[in-house]
Amino acid sequence: MTEARNSRPLVAIGWMLITGIFFVAVNALVKSLGPTIPAAEGAFLRFVMGLGLMAPVLPRLLRLRLDRATWGLVALRGLLHSGGVALWFFAMARIPIADVTALNYLNPILITVGAALFLGETLAFRRIAAVLVALAGALIILRPGLREISTGHLAMLGTAVLFAGSYLISKRLTDRIEPVLVVALMSLTVSIGLTPLALPVWVMPSLGQLAILLGVALAATAGHYCMTRAFQVAPMTVTQPVTFLQLVWAVLLGALAFGEPPDPYVILGGALILGAVSFITWREAQLKRRTITPPVEATKL
């Protein structure tokens, strides 16, 4: 009852609208770099700059006392997230922004499956149905056999799988470590994990390219902050459907800024995937269960 009285859905929707704008700005800035900066290098620079933004928290990492198993989870998450971020940068330079945005909606669905396989969560009929609908949406976007599936699309599918693994581990870590320290550890380990991928392909970035990557780090940080504010004032059943607008913004941005014609199949497929995610979120809230599946925004860079 207290949560219901304190809920402010219009305020939450406002925060989520701003969140979507920030995350689409991240996509646009990375897209503007194109393939001029190797994907691994771009991802490395983004996380190093993001690490700088977390400087006030970093001294607390030195005081952490974790057991070997927890450090193993931290390292594994860093490895998975490093690969996912590098593939995401690769995909952004090669396929339309709308395709990236729509396929990104697969993350919570894959996390749902992973939670059942590795964390012992029950995969009830409603979840199975939602997974099947989401997979249908992905097939509509990719349309195998009707068009060539590019390396960018394959990279984005790889991103979804690796990010799903990363966030499943994050769930385990937040039971043992403060959330802000989990984020700081991710920034640190991903920066380390991307180093051997970035150095062999290193291209000296210009000041303009560094400024764009700094903008990526700032926009991503601001987006996560706004998302957190939204979750403070309303349940995810209110905020989750608003994330579909990110696909609308991505389609408009791709058409107006990058000459990418709107693809109705991508819009339909993205709507099916997000509809499946929203259904799971709503249904779990109805049953008053704690769900492992994070919102789409939580799987952002």
Residues 182, 170 contacting (CB under 8 angstroms):
yes
Longest CA pairwise span in the chain (Å): 57
pLDDT at 80: 95
- DSSP code, position 234: S
17 strand-pairing partners: none
Residue 153, judged by CB atoms within 10 A of its CB (0-12, 13-18, 19+), counts as buried
Distance CA 107, CA 110 (A): 5
Helices 264-286 + 125-142 axis angle, to 10: 170
pLDDT recorded at residue 297: 55
| Contacting residues for 108 by C-beta, under 8 A, at least 6 apart | 277, 280, 293, 294, 295, 296, 299
Chain position carrying tokens 């905020």: 239
Q: What is the pLDDT of residue 198?
A: 95
Quote the pLDDT of residue 11. 84
Query: 149: which DSSP letter?
Result: P
Give pLDDT tens digits along the chain (301 positions). Answer: 444 445 677 888 888 889 888 988 988 899 898 888 999 999 999 889 888 888 888 888 888 888 899 999 999 999 999 999 999 999 998 999 999 988 988 887 887 788 778 777 777 777 788 888 888 988 898 888 777 788 999 999 999 999 989 888 887 887 788 877 888 888 899 999 999 999 999 999 999 999 999 999 899 888 878 877 787 777 666 666 677 788 888 888 888 888 888 889 998 998 898 888 788 777 766 665 454 455 555 555 6
| Residue recorded with tokens 């406002």 | 14
Question: In terms of DSSP H, where are the helices of the chain?
Answer: 2-6, 9-33, 39-53, 58-61, 68-92, 97-104, 106-118, 125-142, 151-174, 179-198, 207-233, 236-239, 244-258, 264-286
Residues with Cβ within 8 Å of residue 156, at least 6 apart in sequence: 87, 88, 91, 95, 99, 100, 103, 104
Output the pLDDT for position 301.
Answer: 67
Q: DSSP label at 150?
A: P
Q: Which residues contact 60 (CB under 8 A, 6 or more apart)?
A: 181, 184
SS3 58: helix
The model carries a pTM of 0.81
* Cβ atoms < 10 Å from Cβ of 181: 21
CA angle 237, 238, 243 (to 5 degrees): 95
